[in-house]
Amino acid sequence: MLGQGIGCVSRRTVLGAALAGAAAAGLAGCGTVEWYPSDVSPDEHVLLSVLREKERLVARYEAAAAEGAGPADLLGRLLENHLSHLDALLEALPEDSEALSQADASAAPQEEAPAATDTAGLRALEISAAGARIDQAAALSDPGLSQLVSAIGACEAGHARLLADD
């Protein structure tokens, strides 16, 4: 063949070496890329979602109790359960979670309080929350967190039943 003497390198060899070098360079960078490109892990994201929903439920219960929209003793007991859930969710978050600092900020007075909800409205909120917990628990990779969210959902289903009896 013309142009190929002894000691010459073929174009195929040069192209193959270039492709192998590019592949090696590409693979070398893979070790530094995180599989999840966010500061918040998927489990933490789910926990933050549940946490925000619980905060809204607590605000509704506080408004209902302040307005006398139902039996005070029942609303007080259910509110205490929701506050316990909030504490458990906050404990489950990683120590370096930005939500922990936001939780301190959310303790400040809110600009606009939610409208008071009667027991039928609270029951609907509890049913909706309990239903959402099923998907949220399934989305968690940590079995302990899944159990926590499932237990919260079971408690919310019990709240709905208690509100129906009233």
Quick one: tokens of 83? Answer: 């506050």
Domain boundaries, the chain: 42-165
Among the four given CATH numbers 3.40.1800.10, 3.40.50.2020, 2.40.50.140, 1.20.1260.10, the one describing domain 42-165: 1.20.1260.10
Specify the pTM.
Answer: 0.70
- Is 156 within 8 Å of 130 (Cβ atoms)? yes
User: CA nearest 152: which of 1, 29, 49?
Assistant: 49
Digit-coded pLDDT (tens) for 102-149: 555 555 445 566 776 899 999 999 999 999 999 999 999 999 999 999
Give Cα separations from 24 to 14, 33, 90, 109, 136 (angstroms): 15, 15, 44, 56, 40
Question: Which residue matches tokens 């693979």?
Answer: 27
DSSP string for residues in 41-62 = -HHHHHHHHHHHHHHHHHHHHH
Digit-coded pLDDT (tens) for 60-81: 999 999 998 889 999 999 999 9
